[in-house]
Each structure stands twice: as C-alpha cells, then as structure tokens.
A and B are shown apart, each in its own frame.
Chain A
C-alpha cells in the first residue's frame, strides 16, 4: 500500500476497501472472534495515516519511532471509537484524534529530563513574569527583577531558569499554537545590503535560503537588524526563550556547513 495520504482525507483509492471493513467492524458483536481480526486489518491498513502525521511532528526533539508509536495509539483509539453509521468520514475523525494524541505527548514529554512539578510551575511563573516585565521595562528583565515581582528569592529564579533549559519547548503550544507574524517575511526579504559586510557571504547565501522562512527572519532580525531577543520575540509573536532556541539551532546549522568551506 502506498504511504501517501491526502490531507483532506477522502475515503477513496487506497483506503476505499477499509471503509467497508469499518462498517463490518461496527456491526460485529464484541464477542465475535472475527472482530479482533478486522480490527487489526483496519489498524494496519490505516497505519500510513498515523505514520504520515507522526512525520509532521518530527524534528522537534522526539524520535520518529516514539512519535509513530504515539500516533498509532491515536489511530487505535480512532478505529475503536469511530461510528460509521453517523455518516462522518473516518479521516475527519481520525486525523484530529491522532493529532490530539501527538500534542498531548509533546505537552507531557516536552521536558527532556525529569523535572519536578514544582520547577515546571516555577518556570511557567518566570515566563509570564518575564513577558510582563519586558513590556514594562522595554528590555529583558534581570533575575532580581523577576524575583521581586514574584516575591521569591533570586536563587529560586535561577533554579527556574535552569529548569527552563531542560525544557525543549518543542512544546506544541509554542510550535503550533503561536501565530508568527507573517508580514515579517517581506520586511527581511532581501538581505543583500546587510550581507555586504560579510566576506564569506557567497557561502552563506545558499545556506540562508535553506532555512525555514521564520528562522531566517529571526536570524536576520538578531544579526542584521541588531534587535534583542526580547524585541524579536515581541515582533514575531513567540517567547524570548523560543527565539533563543531558534537562534542557537540556526547558528549551529550554519556553523557546521560554513566551516566545511573555510
């Protein structure tokens, strides 16, 4: 079976025979041994859908195998809960079910190491205080300023900031939920003037072209427009921590490939 999946999900082509199987599965009484076999056929038949969705969530710090497993759990739930006689299309039911399972996984596993609940909460408090203070001060706050606002000792702020480093906020709330400002693309569209100062720009240019547009924008705002991470965060509509992670990753990517041309 082909692994291609139409994102709109019509029950035609590769999956047409599964729709019939689905109805059979719904009709079979729970005690019928045939039911288990049909269920397995359905799960393995729709597996490419789960794998496709898992791949869409790849590259965010979780292994593809883990994601495929999580997506499969979502698929099994979808197969079991789907009611074909309600007239809905299986895909319109299964895709949100599987995606929901993947999102939940990221929410619960977004921390790369075991971080105690207390530190997770502390980290969230620090982040919201950071956003608020940045607006008040017009710059990123100092740890002591966050400590004052939250009325906790500075040592706790530092602890919370360190915990934040363990948080690979591949957190989908950030990755998918936030609305990046798309007009920025035009703003930084042409970097030729800025690049004039860089002597190895000919090696740099094709690498910049490979970057996702938002990452390229963030890089340009930091290194060519000389904005601070906090200012970029505000313009792009993501957190400063997220800007920081994007910049580190992008610099690592560029450094690795630039050096081969040194």
Chain B
C-alpha cells in the first residue's frame, strides 16, 4: 500500500496492488470503507462504496489473466472518492456490459461508473479498467 489519507478533509491517493484473486477482495473493500469513513462519508455512502468495490473487484478478478495483478487506486478528493481498478486480461471483454444487472447495480451504488477496455500491443489480450466515483453524501429518492 502506498500513501495514506489522513484525517477529515485530507485528500490523497492510496494504491493497493494484490494478486488478482478473490482472497484479496475483503482487504480491498475494507480499505475502501476505511478511507470513506476517514473522509467522513455518511454511513450509507460508506456501505455503498464497500459493495461497489466488492462487485468491481470480483468482476475484474474473474476476467483476469493468469498471475495478473489487480491494481486499485483510491483518490480521496473533497467530498468524493474516485476508485480506479484494473487488471490484465487475455480476452478482450467489456467488464460491464451496458444493460447487464451488474452494470445496473454499480450505477445505483456509485455516482459515476466507467468501464474501459484497453487493447494490448500484440493484438491479443489487454487491460480492463473500472472507474467509480462516489460522493460523500447519499441522496435517496423518497
């Protein structure tokens, strides 16, 4: 882990690199929830971010090439956190097809969701990336 966001109002970037394995996911989502709590996110937003990161990482781990590294970066900004999670893949595939249930769920959990597919140089394989933006306060419809 590199860098660490400190007290309330403090911004910064925390990066976590792990093997692209399901075993790492509880650690990663805990980091996400902890950063959100320290950035004074409301408890709904903390829980949503935790779930969104869990979902994102699970998705990427399933697509990951053998021995790939899962890279997650958490940028704590004023009243929001930007999460970028990426992994090398053998097969180019949209990690979040528009209209899929996962896409819908992530759109509900995060304020912005972007999925990127970056082709590798040799034509085969490449890198997939999911970017989430989560605001500090949840606004529900009621």
Residues of chain A at the chain B interface (Cβ within 8 Å): 130, 139-144, 154, 157-158, 161-162, 165, 197-201, 204, 222-223, 225-231, 240, 244, 247-248, 251, 254-255, 258-259
**Does B82 sit at the interface, judged by CB under 8 A?**
no
Residue interface bits B39-83, CB-to-A below 8 A is 1, else 0: 011111111101100110010001000000000000000000000
Cβ A247 vs Cβ B140 within 8 A = no
Interface segment, one of B12-20, B99-107, B112-120: B99-107
Cβ A139 vs Cβ B62 within 8 A = no
Cβ B99 vs Cβ A198 within 8 A = yes
Cβ B8 vs Cβ A154 within 8 A = yes
- Apart from A142-B41, A255-B55, what 18 extra A-B contacts exist at CB < 8 Å? A140-B43, A141-B42, A142-B42, A142-B43, A143-B40, A144-B40, A197-B104, A198-B100, A199-B99, A204-B101, A227-B140, A227-B141, A227-B142, A230-B44, A231-B142, A247-B51, A251-B54, A259-B62
**Does B4 sit at the interface, judged by CB under 8 A?**
no
In the complex the two chains form, what is the Cα distance from A139 to B43 in whole Å? 9
What's the count of A-B pairs with C-beta under 8 Å?
103
Grouping DSSP codes into helix (H, G, I), strand (E, B) and loop, the B interface class, with mixed when no group exceeds half, is helix
Cβ A223 vs Cβ B44 within 8 A = no
Q: How far, in Å, is A126 (CB) from chain B's closest CB?
A: 9
Q: How far, in Å, is B112 (CB) from chain A's closest CB?
A: 16
